[in-house]
Structures are given as structure tokens and as C-alpha cells.
């Protein structure tokens, strides 16, 4: 019987739901994305670029994606619910938890749930 080789971990993907955030934070795309940008840099991530999209309907939230040399981070806000979806995929040695903790503290948010997923290469990939 042939055993499968172990999957190679290439990164970690942190997903989090944050709540009880003031609506003004969740509508201010520039300021909130700046908070994330600064937290990423303090944690040692290299920011390459960022894209913002402001919505004009619903609660007038926004989505932001920050391209990192280590992968990406994103925010999706729902001001009408006081809620923010966050993810950070890192292929480097930096700590994604430090970024989440700093962001949550700056926004005075409650972290409802979070999960850290080890991203792995398939043993059959070349």
C-alpha cells in the first residue's frame, strides 16, 4: 500500500467576522483601509497596491482589497449591520492574527468568529 506524501503548507488564511462597529467606520473607506494598511505594515507585510469600491445602495459600505507581496487582505463592510468581513492570506512568516487584533482594536469591534486555515499544495501538483 502506497502512502500519500504530506501536503506542503504554503500559507495561512485568516477569516474573521467583526461586529458592533460604528457605522461611520464602515462607510469611511479611506480611513478604515488606511487602518488596515498601517496594521499590515507594522506586522511586516509589504503592501503593493490597493483597490477600493464604495457602494451607493444599501448601507453604503465598501469593499477593499490590498495586494501584498505575501498575497492579499480584504475588507467588506455592512454599516447597516455594524459588521465587517475580513480575510488575510499570507504566504510569509508574518502574523495575520496581529493584523486582525490591531484592526479590531482600532475599530472598537467585537470579533464574532475567526478561523485560520492552513493552505496546502496538493501532493500531486508539480
Q: Which residues are catalytic?
A: 71, 76, 91
Residue 63 in contact with residue 74, Cβ under 8 Å?
yes
Going by the DSSP 8-state scheme, the letter that residue 100 receives in this structure is H
Coil, strand or helix at 21 = coil
CA distance readout (Å), 6 to 3, 121, 122, 123:
9, 9, 9, 7
State the cell numbers at 112: 464574532
Virtual torsion, Cα 86, 111, 98, 28, nearest 10 deg? 50
Amino acid at each position: 500500500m502506497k502512502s500519500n506524501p504530506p501536503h506542503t503548507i504554503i500559507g495561512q488564511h485568516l477569516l474573521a467576522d467583526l461586529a458592533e462597529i460604528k457605522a461611520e467606520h464602515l462607510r469611511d473607506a479611506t480611513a478604515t483601509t488606511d487602518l488596515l494598511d498601517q496594521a499590515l505594515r507594522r506586522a511586516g507585510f509589504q503592501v503593493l497596491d490597493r483597490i477600493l469600491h464604495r457602494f451607493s445602495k444599501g448601507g453604503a459600505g465598501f469593499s477593499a482589497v490590498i495586494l501584498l507581496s505575501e498575497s492579499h487582505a480584504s475588507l467588506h463592510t455592512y454599516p447597516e449591520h455594524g459588521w465587517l468581513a475580513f480575510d488575510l492570506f499570507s504566504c510569509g512568516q508574518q502574523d495575520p492574527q496581529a493584523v486582525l487584533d490591531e484592526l479590531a482594536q482600532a475599530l472598537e469591534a467585537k470579533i464574532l468568529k475567526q478561523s485560520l486555515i492552513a493552505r496546502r499544495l496538493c501532493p500531486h501538483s508539480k
